Structure 1
Amino acid sequence: MSKQWAGKDGAFKRQQSSFKEIVSPSHPVYKPEMGRYWLYVSLACPWAHRTLITRAIKGLTNVIGVTVVHWHLDEKGWRLLTSNESLGVKAYTLAGGISTSKEDRSYAVGAIPNNSARLFVDSTFDPNNGFDRLSQLYYKSDPEYNARFTVPVLWDKKTNTIVNNESASIIRMFNSGVFDEFAGSDATGYDLTPKSLTPQIDEFNGWVYDNINNGVYKAGFAESAEVYEKEVTNVFENLDKVEKILADKYAKLEADLGKDARDKILQRFFTVGEQLTEADVRLYTTIIRFDPVYVQHFKCNFTTIRDGYPYIHLWLRNLYWNFDSFKETTNFEHIKLHYTRSHTRINFLGITPLGPKPDIRPL
């Protein structure tokens, strides 16, 4: 399995997405419609998590359905549970598409087998095709497909094919407003990439993606000590950079609003500008996994977020506890079980650590 991730030089290689169509009123085939498009995601995957957060922020949970793959990734890829139940879109309108862990479940992880089949807890099923493997979606779209079967997948129910499997593209598509007219009273109209901030967002996303989002993978999947040491050092150098940005931001807000105005400060405490943007969404999905997984599993253990980065930690808890779109799409049980049970070359015994406790600290 590891040879899928690392090259001969021991360095992690991320696969490029293959499906890159865009839903748009001007597209000859993929036009926006109510209930036509469906997301296939993993609650453990940070790239898929981006799409769930954006879908929730935009109020599209009744417009675009969701199927959640099982947390255990085996040699055949992502799998789904099967069911004879006839459920409509309403069953898939939760922000996360599945019942989320409302409390610290770390005490129970050791008792959960890899073939656990708890419907709407371990996985959902595919109401569109009845498939039990994500790979079947790929082969239905392209019989000659020969790469890894990745999430997220945006599926078109009308043409029975994958529209897009690139998370950055999907979240821009959701944010563009092409589905807003179908959201009704759920529509928020919130813009995660306002024109005045887009250059700053793109610049921030650029170095965060390469050095933090993907950086933890480059450290964790490294197959030589030299590569690992270089990559893990780079991750923390860039976390230091984010910490400085947020520390300066907090100091400015404190100077403007007063030291006792913490609640007002947190309403404007974001990475780019003073409003929630795509930059926060894309960074969050890595940072929320950092202490529970990346510290131990990917050996990113110079320090933890909670102990080493006070301003990143405050920013993280603010998003989790004050924004339902973040909290309701975050499932620590899936996150912990997936990484520690699926990457057998890294953790060949498949033992899932119980800590940290709690999964995330109170605000």
Structure 2
Amino acid sequence: MSSSRPRVYLDISIGNRAIGRAIFELYTDVVPKTAENFRALCTGEKGEGKLGKPLHYKGSTFHRVIKSFMIQGGDFTAGNGTGGESIYGEKFEDENFEKKHDRPFLLSMANAGANTNGSQFFVTTVPTPHLDGKHVVFGELIQGKSVVRQVENTTVGEQDRPVEDVVITDCGELDPSVKIESGRADDGTGDVYEDFPDDEESATKDPQASLEVTKKLKEIATTLFKASSKDKALEKYQKALRYANELIPNEEQHEQLYNEFAKLQVSLNLNIALVGMQLGQYSVAIRAADAVLDSHHGKATDQEKAKALYRRGVSKSRSKDDEGALEDLKTAQELVPNDGAIINEIANVKQRIAKRTQSQRAAYAKFFS
């Protein structure tokens, strides 16, 4: 980071949910004209443009998202990638191609060919060297990787347009005196790790470091769960599982660490199944239990399999699939015959099935009488 370069921010929401702030540093020393265009469009200080719209990113959307490539926004006139306007008029020339698209989280100008820069921009999510010499790189993300990743991973429909609107709810320039910490800021839970493991340098140094970070995330989630902050706990358990799934080492090269990761995957999925079940997020619980039962790692004990079957069974029952629930619960009982919770749930499910059958018979009898 350079202290002399301006820093701007975009506050972003998906649907009606605020997902955070992305902060960029602009390369005013390399491409001053291009950088100034973006800075002024963040502040809105230039007023109304020639097309009759405010020269301001606030309220505009990311209209095009391609996973493992880039997220694109800045069309505040048409909102679909056909519009936009620079502070210099509708279009301006390519300033230079000194900076390359050699890594994720670079800020670059979208265009419709040579010398057609307006207000549209994109943020890379992987290296994109095929864009070198065609698009002007003018800045980089210095905080908010998880925000960009959330946009990158949002569901899209036709023409790569997000199904839910991805909106720049606010934007502007930060005062030079504001201190920006590199990396992810602590959200109050002790979690200082990026949402996606590829972006977290401390977790990708070696398999042991990966394991320690994953365990720390699990501890944070468990602390939240014990404090009855279940929504947040579920989010952190899912994040820990993402780390475990992506960072598990090669079994042949790191057998002991591989086994520790595999056990951690089972434990995390069981916790997700439990919290999902308690929160009424039954599809989440069922998927997590499926992962335990279908695990190719084969690390789940009979006790753990019984927990997964019980939690999946309860979730199926609450989702009005009593027959599927009964099958899971009976299988769980075979593994742990004397478990009181399983026995009680089987009785409850059987009672509901019997009551429903009786109601159906009464309805049929009335129909044919």
| TM-score over 0.5 (shorter chain) | no
Greater gyration radius: 2
Q: Which has the higher contact order (CA 8 A, sep 6+)?
A: 1
Give the number of the structure whose residues are more often strand, by fraction: 2
